[in-house]
Chain A
Amino acid sequence: MREVGPLIISREILRQLSSTAALELKPEEETKLLDQLTGILEGLQVLEAVDGRDAPPMPPAPAAAVWRQGDQPVPSLEREQVLSQAPQERAGYFAVPTMVGEEDEG
């Protein structure tokens, strides 16, 4: 089995991750996260220890756990119930900033 090799994190990588995860970070959070994630990633190297060991496949689920349910339509929540929780709603829909085309929030 190939080695995992070092798992490296930098401030630049952290910023890419925060963009991928759509998660704004404060500068002080970045510093603390870099420190903690570096430690965790180093710790994961111990998983190399399973190299060369044979592991059986996960046993199949018990027979009772393998079941099929009927493909029956069931009522969903009412639109009003769902929209009552919307942070912003317009004309019966969830309102979001414009994604394509216009400048203003649509």
Chain B
Amino acid sequence: MSLIWEDVARLRQRAVRREVSAVEIASAFLERQEVTEGKIRAFLYRPPAEEILTQARSLDERMARGEEPGLLWGIPVAIKDNMAVEGMPMTAASRILEGYHPPYDATVVKKLREAGALVAGKTNLDEWAMGSSTETSAFGPTYNPWDRSRVPGGSSGGAAAAVAAGEVPLSLGSDTGGSIRQPASFCGVAGLKPTYGHISRYGVASLASSLDHIGPLARRVADAALLYLVLRGRDPLDGQTWEAPGTPLEMPQPLDSLKGWRIGLPKEAFTHPALDAQVKEAVLAAVELLAARGAQVEECSLPTFHLSLEAYQVLMAMEAASNLARFDGIRYGRRATGESLQELYAKTRGQGFGFEVKRRILLGTYLGQAPQYPLLWERADKVRRLLRAEMEDLFRRFHVLITPTSPTVAFPFGALERDGDLRSYADIYTIPANLTGVPALSVPCGFAPHLPVGMQLLGPWGTEESLFRVARTYEEEAQWPLKPPLGEGTGVAGRRQP
């Protein structure tokens, strides 16, 4: 089997046994990128090949000297370009950060390096992670490897596409309202939004701090689990991080039987009018397969589900307006000229931010100064508390809840702009986990008709291991073919470089 389609644990094991060198692994993925990157444009920045090979050579030398290899020894990992990597540009797909090279590594990047991973480059996203299609990137979109007339999802569209196309085995994404899980679903890969606070956000561009999460994307659930194990843990540089004592460090294994596992299907999710019939069919077929392995499946209710989107809009916009106030052209990034400081700020931000970002900043500013602000915030917060209480109630009866990850499969470019319903409902299934902080994992569960469908598994706080085990059990049983048909066609149009 070609190195690029191997699972990560096995690839690392082969590297540790010296059956294959880190240089050979790096070369295989670099060659793959040469073939596919022109077609999908997943990356905003890739370091020169020689730089990656030098890192790989150094790993080989360190191992030859007897160094204990880390969990990701020799494995290339792509980083969403809203995370700081020393020595690489960081744009958040926005003109306002043009020219910025962070002088430090985000904690997650530091942990990757410590585990022996190779930092493969920076992937494309919706500008400031605001979007569901990667179309709002200031540097052009990424193309879905399964069908290049379709979006890869967003905002971590580049991260998902790069993994799906075999350009890297693993990538890091961020998820404020579904930005890991929805692109994972659209590109046929696994993506985890962990429990709030399980993975450090130090060095990641903040969008809405009470909703922001970092997590792994991978072709297989086990690979996502491995990356999660490397990344999780308390970080003094992110005061929201925590780790339950005694949490196992072992790889979550698939289960022989799901007997004793209770799975809930929230009826509000499966009866929503935006849900595509074929997507529903694929997810329910996957649930049947879990039932056939012994799981007890029952319908349940999440009555406040239908208010999550509006509550999210209030909280996210207000937090984003506040967080993005720091980008003013003074300390880094782009600066416009202005006679006064206020004019410099306004022009820098006006020229540097794209339309979607402006819309959210202005919405947040409006909500923050409207006379109704306390009432609005109170209602949004109440929705959040109701959802959390309803979920806690359900988790007394069920180990796992299952919903579709997205109401549709990957849509064509421009569809979000044309179709208001699509725009409104793109994140309906993913937002509740951000509002409540529970872990949520998207796993590929079939095709409709030629595009991947994702199933979302949700569990109580801190139960990533259970989600991984159930998802691995499903994955092992379903055996979906997950190599996109990226033939030798012509490449897509070039991208303006950040």
A interface, CB within 8 angstroms of B? 1-5, 7, 9, 13-14, 17-26, 29, 32-33, 36-37, 39-41, 43-44, 46-51, 53, 55-59, 61-62, 64-67, 69, 77, 81-82, 84-88, 94, 96-97, 99
Which of the residues B330, B338, B362 comes within 8 Å of A23, measured between beta carbons?
B362
The number of chain B residues with a CB under 8 A from chain A is 73
| Minimum C-beta distance from B173 to chain A (A) | 23
Contact A77 B382 (CB under 8 A): no
* CB–CB A55/B382 < 8 A: yes
The residues of A that contact B355 with a CB separation of less than 8 Å are 29, 32-33
Given A7-B372, A49-B307: A44 touches B313 (CB 8 Å cut-off): yes
Task: Evaluate contact between B350 and A25: CB separation under 8 angstroms.
Answer: yes
| Contact B362–A4 (Cβ < 8 Å) | no
A13 CB to closest chain B CB (Å) equals 7
CB atoms of B242 and A65 under 8 A apart = yes
Q: Which of B27-64 contact A (CB under 8 A)?
A: none
Q: A1-B375, A2-B375, A77-B103 are in contact. Are A53 and B341 (CB under 8 A)?
A: no
Stretch at the interface among B18-26, B266-274, B384-392: B384-392
Q: Given the interface contacts A4-B372, A62-B242, does A37 sit within 8 Å of B366 by beta carbon?
A: yes
A53-B386, A87-B329 known; A44 vs B338 contact (CB < 8 Å): no
Binding site secondary structure of chain A: loop
Q: Name which residue of chain A comes closest to B385, CB basis.
A: A55
Chain A residue with the shortest CB-CB distance to B384? A58
Other than the given A26-B350, A87-B329, 17 more pairs (CB < 8 A) read A3-B375, A24-B347, A43-B310, A47-B307, A48-B379, A50-B307, A55-B385, A56-B389, A59-B388, A61-B197, A64-B242, A65-B197, A69-B236, A86-B331, A87-B335, A94-B330, A96-B330
Chain B interfacial positions (CB closer than 8 Å to A): 99-104, 197, 234, 236, 239-240, 242-245, 304, 307, 310-311, 313-314, 321, 325, 328-335, 338-347, 349-351, 353, 355, 358-359, 361-363, 365-366, 369-370, 372, 375-376, 378-380, 382-386, 388-389, 392, 420, 424, 461-462
Chain A residues near B234 (CB, 8 Å)?
67
Closest to A56 in B: B389
- Residues on A with C-beta less than 8 A from B328 are 22
Q: How far is the CB of A67 from chain B (nearest CB, A)?
A: 7
Q: Complex: how many Å from CA A20 to CA B384? A: 28
Q: Which residue of A lies closest to B98 (CB)?
A: A87
